[in-house]
């Protein structure tokens, strides 16, 4: 099946089976177009909890589908391809975290949402890129914080919070780590009066903080118009900003939604190579297979889900 007939068959089956399709901001355009909701990892889980549908086709990567299963255990969560993993969540497993906690018995553990359910279950707090600073600031200043697994996001949080007692796991995402300072500096020179929106997982984050200054990039003589946002934060910012042109430093899939929702504005990717191969594993054919054969279910074990849910709920009470 091809093109429109594939799309129509997905829409028909979705109705027949009372399913909803949730797609991450990095999904390919065709998948975004059949989705009921497109958003960031946390937003998708919140949508999963809100929907009355019993079946959710989760078009994103595995840890995101697990988070949806943790938040709404009564729903059937299907991922169209089980190979859709995440290089960042792969950098730490439960055994490694157990050892790290043993070495730092009084520390508070803050785990980024890009972690497996087993790892989340061992964290005190979960966080996303949009609330990591708030979560860390909510922890008593005299407690050591173990922050995992992204070292660039961790360095960003440590810099903004000025916290010295924060230990950071040396993990990185292969896509965002590749957005290095030299790439961003070249783009800053080429696009001088353009706003730069940077995801704090990027490899350039620490050096870009220098341009950022202490007041959103406005009080530093070396300032460029550089701002740090999560994917959904970027979406909100470009919609509300008076600017018309932006350089976007994150996975390029987000540009499709940005352009679609803001047709008069111009978006320039920081690098055409910022592509997450895992996100791109989800295709319309696989979405159709998911709907037809009800595969592949992602189900987090009850006891793991209960512990992981606590870390997520603690985060939500801070927001």
Binding site for ligand SF4 (CB under 6 A): 61, 86-88, 114, 173, 175-176, 251, 276, 278-279
Q: Phi and psi at residue 126, in whole multiples of 5°?
A: -95, 160
Q: Phi and psi at residue 190, in whole multiples of 5°?
A: -80, -40
Is there a contact between 79 and 158 (Cβ–Cβ < 8 Å)? no
201 binds ligand 13P (CB under 6 A): yes
Residue 300 binds which entry of ligand SF4, ligand 13P, none, CB below 5-8 Å type-dependent: none
* Closest to ligand 13P by CB, 41 or 225: 41
**CB 200 → ligand 13P: shortest distance, Å?**
10
* Closest to ligand SF4 by CB, 115 or 194: 115
173 binds ligand 13P (CB under 6 A): yes
* Closest to ligand SF4 by CB, 12 or 277: 277
Tell me how far apart the 2 most distant CA atoms of the chain are, in Å. 60
**CB 86 → ligand SF4: shortest distance, Å?**
3
Is there a contact between 22 and 57 (Cβ–Cβ < 8 Å)? yes
* Closest to ligand SF4 by CB, 9 or 90: 90
230 binds ligand 13P (CB under 6 A): yes
Residue 183 binds which entry of ligand 13P, ligand SF4, none, CB below 5-8 Å type-dependent: none
Selected from 27, 32, 41, 205, the binder of ligand 13P by CB under 6 A is 41
Q: Phi and psi at residue 105, in whole multiples of 5°?
A: -65, -25
129 binds ligand 13P (CB under 6 A): yes
The sign one gets for the Cα dihedral 161, 162, 166, 171 is: positive
**CB 117 → ligand 13P: shortest distance, Å?**
16
Query: Binding-site residue total for ligand 13P (CB under 6 A)?
Result: 10
Task: Report helix, strand or coil for 36.
Answer: coil
**CB 84 → ligand 13P: shortest distance, Å?**
11
From start to end of the chain, where are the E strands?
19-24, 37-39, 55-59, 76-78, 108-112, 125-127, 145-148, 166-168, 195-198, 226-228, 245-249, 266-269
Residue 128 binds which entry of ligand SF4, ligand 13P, none, CB below 5-8 Å type-dependent: ligand 13P
Alpha carbons 194 and 189: distance in angstroms, whole number: 10
Instruction: Name which of residues 89 to 128 contact ligand 13P (CB under 6 A).
Output: 113-114, 128
Is there a contact between 252 and 222 (Cβ–Cβ < 8 Å)? no
Determine the number of helices (DSSP H) and then strands (DSSP E) in the chain: 15, 12
32 binds ligand 13P (CB under 6 A): no
Alpha carbons 67 and 53: distance in angstroms, whole number: 17
47 binds ligand 13P (CB under 6 A): no
List of residues contacting ligand 13P (CB under 6 A): 40-41, 113-114, 128-129, 173, 201, 230-231
């Amino acid at each position: 099946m091809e093109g429109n007939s594939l799309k129509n068959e997905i829409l028909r089956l979705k109705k027949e089976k009372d399913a909803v399709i949730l797609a991450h901001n990095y999904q390919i355009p065709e998948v975004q177009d059949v989705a009921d909701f497109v958003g960031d990892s946390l937003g998708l889980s919140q949508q999963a909890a809100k929907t009355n549908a019993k079946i959710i086709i989760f078009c994103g990567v595995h840890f995101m589908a697990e988070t949806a299963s943790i938040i709404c255990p009564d729903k059937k969560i299907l991922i169209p391809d089980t190979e859709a993993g995440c290089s960042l969540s792969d950098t730490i497993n439960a055994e490694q975290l157990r050892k790290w906690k043993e070495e730092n018995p009084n520390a508070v553990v803050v785990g980024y949402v890009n972690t497996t359910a087993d790892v989340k279950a061992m964290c005190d707090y979960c966080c996303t890129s949009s609330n990591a600073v708030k979560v860390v600031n909510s922890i008593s200043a005299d407690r050591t914080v173990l922050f995992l697994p992204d070292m660039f996001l961790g360095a960003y949080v440590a810099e903004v919070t000025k916290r010295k007692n924060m230990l950071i796991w040396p993990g990185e995402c292969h896509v965002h780590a590749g957005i290095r300072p030299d790439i961003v500096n070249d783009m800053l020179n080429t696009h001088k009066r353009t706003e730069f929106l940077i995801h704090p997982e990027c490899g350039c984050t620490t050096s870009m903080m220098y341009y950022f200054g202490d007041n959103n990039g406005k009080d530093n003589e070396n300032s460029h118009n550089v701002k740090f946002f999560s994917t959904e934060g970027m979406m909100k910012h470009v919609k509300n900003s008076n600017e018309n042109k932006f350089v976007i430093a994150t996975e390029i899939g987000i540009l499709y939604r940005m352009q679609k929702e803001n047709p008069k504005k111009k978006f320039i990717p920081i690098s055409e190579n910022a592509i997450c191969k895992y996100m791109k594993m989800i295709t319309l054919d696989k979405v159709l297979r998911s709907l037809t054969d009800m595969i592949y279910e992602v189900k987090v074990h009850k006891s793991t889900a209960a512990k992981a849910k606590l870390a997520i709920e603690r985060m939500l009470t801070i927001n």
